[in-house]
Chains A and B, each alone.
Chain A
Amino acid sequence: MGNEESVFFSRVLTELTLSFHIIYATIGVGVPLMIMIAQWVGIKKNDEHYILLARRIARGFVITVAVGVVTGTAIGLQLSLLWPNFMQLAGNVIALPLFLETFAFFFEAIFLGIYLYTWDRFENQKKHLLLLIPVAIGASASAVFITIVNAFMNAPQGFDILNGELINIQPLVAMLNPAMPTKVAHVLVTAYMTTAFVLASIAAFRLLKGSNHIYHKKSLFLMLKLGLIFGIAAAIIGDFSGKYLAAYQPEKLAAAEWHFETEKGAPLVLLGILDGEEVKYAFKIPYALSILAHGSPATEVTGLNDFPQDEIPPLYIHYLFDGMVMIGMFLVFISFVYVIGKIRKWKFISSRWFRWIVVMGGPLAILAIEFGWWLAEVGRQPWILKGFMRTAEGATTSNNVDIMLILFSGLYLILGIGSVVVLRRMFRNNPVEQELEDRHAEKGGDFT
């Protein structure tokens, strides 16, 4: 196997690991916050249903956390195994947030263990709620730090290279790179948003499949409210991300928008098919790209033709961009309709077809997360460290990457199927009605 093949298989394996990991990681960032909110609402309203909601989410969370932890360990090691040359260079500049991430992870792991094994141990539910704060902080903080590392790869700074030597290294400057604010904010908010839609999806599914319990209705309303809030936040931050791209990675924005000629008042291209340099069947929104990029319709947006041809990312990222944005808009729309409908007592939001749409929301949200990451990552090709190191220069020279790819594919298949089977069995064998009954028998209905 030549080095070119090593590079190719290293890319495929990294993509596979990350694509699998982010499903569990996104849920891992969002769920602690959702449990916290559910439990807090439960204590506030003195409503056992919300407390039970928190408990049931926590139980399912153990399974997703387990897969998240082990695949996270995998990608952590794979960084050095598959990209040794890159890690050797980047390690000098960006080791600090990597290191901090493990602290955040550590902190979360400790308190999650405590939280999961102390339900009923405290007289006061509020004390138990306090344990969740470090879990939620740890989960979000590790996302922040690891996203900082990724932001650095998109907008490296905080060092100089003189005759091949790294000098003037400033770890904090490297962390506070220009890509950092939008990336971190977007990752966090979309993780919360996705988790809310996944949980809403489960509630809607239970309502469709037999159970008509008030518990699921409360869960659905709470999650769609949260989904709406985080969805709007995600859209606003997405707009900032567009402005960041225009300023720092214009080739990524131009490729995502199939914007070839540098021009003023650039239109935003929706959908369409690319035929050479000809965009066919697309909707064009006049001036929208200039507004997205610079906040004013008249400004000039650099087109792809003005970049060196070997520094342009693959043009298929346009579809990823469209997919992500449309799913995001759709989710904001349905949660908005639901929340307004709930207030104005519209009937159709309880209809079967609308609930099926809500059920679709969870998987769609996860799909949007995948699209977003593929867009961000493929969009910075050919660079592994933009402006400093091309992807091919960072990869391993080892000859066995293809075999490892097969092994890891098998692993993720087993983990994916295993986690779904176990989660389904866990909740099917113990429906909410049953659990409520059991707990009433045990405690006489007293939850506070």
Chain B
Amino acid sequence: MTLEIVGISVLWLFLFGYLIIASIDFGAGFFNAYSLLTGRQHILTNIIQRYLSPVWEVTNVFLVFFFVGVVGFFPKTAFYYGTTLLVPASIAIILLAIRGSYYAFETYGSRGHKGYSFMYGIAGLFIPASLSIVLTISEGGFVSMVDGQPVLDYWELFTNPLTWSIVVLSIAAVLYISAVFLTWYADKAKDAKATSLMRKYALLWSLPLIITAIGIMVELRQHNAEHYGRMLDFWWLFAISAVMYVGTVWLIWKRKKYGLALSLLIGQFALAFFAYGISHYPYLLYPHLTLYDGFTNPTMAVALIIAFIAGLGLLIPSLYLLLKLFLFNKDYVRGKKDNHA
């Protein structure tokens, strides 16, 4: 395995981590706002707040980690993606900023402020949409080189069905992942009402998820035949992922083993995400930038990997402690004690 592959695998893993925990976070914000609108706030708010409060900052770090890592391992991405993504990424930053700070404002400043909750919930759905544009652009066809500088063709981007399918997929995935997680979490908290409501949402969002996922495969065939061909080479990974998807939906439908359902969900997304990533190889931005052109010098790569291993040695036990204290602590999950500052 070359250093390039190690680098991109590590980053892909972190992006996957962000995908899962940010989805839970974004979806939870949306469900919270939606329950306010439909007058079911009392059912969901406690569960959602209890989960989100200690972890929201950690969620944000996963994203920072990813983009700092990308520029570190692949400095040329700063040139290609930095220039072209100014507008979509800036919008994502603004939404993230509103979301992150208003979460703190609402939770600590004035609990139950409706305006904050709505902003929070709606911003959460636009963020995956604005971030998923990166995935669309990476498929090629939207960036052209003018005088040696990359330029993004917005018209082409916004009129292409691939763009919108990826946007819809990202939103459906956010709501589905979040609903399955919260079903499990509410069940752990022995909150029957919240469990049954979240279960309904999980089943509701499972369908658009799988439809758009299949739709994107079809569109890629048109848009980037080379990528589509490589995806077919890994058909078995997507097949296992699909089986896991069926397993999750079935368990949730039968109201059984929500823990297993959650594991299957994570497995499903992990396989699909990595199969997608592997089939994208060797391009970072088709066809302008490959993994090998964009890679940093070997000295820096080795330094980064050493720093990465040392950092993980520190982070994994800490993350475990965080999960142990909040996610897997019965008293905390059931809300018996409120120990916040």
Contact = CB atoms under 8 A, between A and B. Distances in A.
B64 A119 contact: no
B341 A169 contact: no
Nearest to A174: B300
Nearest to A17: B93
A82 B79 CA distance: 10
Nearest to A167: B297
22 contacts: A66-B101, A71-B97, A77-B93, A80-B77, A81-B89, A87-B79, A95-B73, A95-B300, A98-B72, A99-B307, A101-B68, A102-B69, A110-B322, A113-B54, A113-B322, A117-B340, A171-B299, A398-B84, A407-B91, A408-B94, A411-B97, A415-B101
Interface stretch (B105-113, B197-205, B208-216, B233-241): B105-113
A76 B297 CA distance: 22
Contact of A76 (B68, B300, B318): B68
A63 interface: yes
Given A107-B314, A113-B322, A398-B83, 10 more contacts: A55-B341, A59-B108, A73-B96, A76-B68, A85-B79, A109-B61, A113-B54, A119-B341, A407-B94, A423-B109
Given A59-B341, A107-B315, A398-B86, A419 B93 contact: no
Interface string A399-432: 0110110011001001100110111011000000
B68 A69 contact: no
Contact of A84 (B58, B60, B83): B83
Nearest to A171: B303
B65 interface: yes
A88 B73 CA distance: 11
A63 B108 contact: yes
B135 interface: no
Contact of A70 (B55, B77, B78, B100): B100
Interface in A158-173: 166, 169-172
Contacts of B318: 107, 110-111, 134
Interface of A: 55, 58-59, 62-63, 65-67, 69-74, 76-85, 87-93, 95-96, 98-103, 105-107, 109-121, 134, 166, 169-172, 396-398, 400-401, 403-404, 407-408, 411, 414-415, 418-419, 421-423, 425-426
Contacts of A84: 78-80, 82-83
Contact of A425 (B57, B100, B109, B308): B109
Contacts of B94: 407-408, 411
A280 to B, nearest CB: 44
B339 interface: yes
Contacts of B58: 106, 109-110, 113
Pairs of residues from A and B, 3 with the lowest C-beta to C-beta distance, nearest first:
A91-B75, A95-B72, A422-B109
A81 B326 contact: no
B160 interface: no
Contact of B296 (A92, A113, A396, A419): A92
Contacts of A118: 325, 339
Given A73-B96, A84-B83, A398-B86, A63 B61 contact: no
A80 B61 contact: no
Residue in B58, B78, B84, B326 with the greatest tally of chain A CB atoms within 10 Å? B78
A418 B102 contact: yes
B64 A95 contact: no
Contacts of B164: none
Contacts of A100: 307, 311
Contacts of A62: 104, 108, 341
A396 B68 CA distance: 18
B149 interface: yes
B76 interface: yes
Contacts of A80: 67, 71, 77-78, 81-82
Nearest to A426: B109
Nearest to A116: B341
Contacts of B80: 84
B320 to A, nearest CB: 10
Given A69-B57, A418-B105, A422-B105, A81 B303 contact: no
Contacts of B314: 103, 107
A114 B340 contact: no
Contacts of B326: 113-114, 117
A166 B103 contact: no
B85 interface: yes
A109 B104 CA distance: 14
Interface string B48-66: 0000011101101101110
B315 A99 contact: no
A98 B68 contact: yes
A73 B318 CA distance: 22
Contacts of B101: 66-67, 70, 415, 418-419
Interface string B112-147: 000000000000000000000000000000000000
A77 B54 contact: no
B337 interface: yes
A11 B82 CA distance: 16
B299 A110 contact: no
B217 interface: no
Contacts of B63: 73
Contacts of B61: 102, 105-106, 109
B290 to A, nearest CB: 15
Given A102-B61, A106-B315, A92 B300 contact: yes
Nearest to B59: A109
A355 B301 CA distance: 54
A318 to B, nearest CB: 34
A99 B86 contact: no
Nearest to B146: A397
Contacts of A426: 108-109
B36 to A, nearest CB: 20
Contacts of B13: none
A88 B86 contact: no
Contact of B57 (A79, A109, A119, A418): A109
Interface in B138-173: 149
